[in-house]
Amino acid sequence: MIAWCLEHSPNHRAYRSNGFFPLPERLRPIELHVGVRSLAAPAEANLGNRRNWYLSYLDSDTV
């Protein structure tokens, strides 16, 4: 089972305490590409910081 969870995500501790672990890049089954559109300016300041992101499987069309 694979879950997407960034280190700063609120549910990261729950995943880790239940046996999930980081998967080395060479073992990952797919290459993930993310497309976004900023609705507020300045876009670069918000999009460039991973701490502003939260990803879940609901955001994916590869499942």
pLDDT in tens, 29-53: 777 777 777 777 666 677 778 788 7
Instruction: Name the domain count of the chain.
Output: 1
Report if residue 55 sits inside a domain.
yes
Residue 42: cis peptide before it, omega within 30 degrees of 0: yes
Residue that wins the pLDDT comparison between 18 and 38? 18
Report if residue 3 sits inside a domain.
no
> What distance in Å separates the CA atoms of residue 61 and residue 30, rounded to the nearest whole number?
12
- Give me 57's structure tokens: 């499987």
Q: In the 8-state DSSP scheme, what is residue 22? A: P
Residue that wins the pLDDT comparison between 6 and 45? 6
Q: In the 8-state DSSP scheme, what is residue 41? A: S
Give residue 19's domain range: 12-59
Q: Name the residue among 23, 43, 39 with its Cα closest to residue 31.
A: 23
Residue that wins the pLDDT comparison between 12 and 2? 12
Q: Assign 14 a pLDDT band (cuts: 50, 70, 90).
A: very high
> What distance in Å separates the CA atoms of residue 34 and residue 47, rounded to the nearest whole number?
11
Q: Is the pLDDT of residue 62 over 70?
A: no
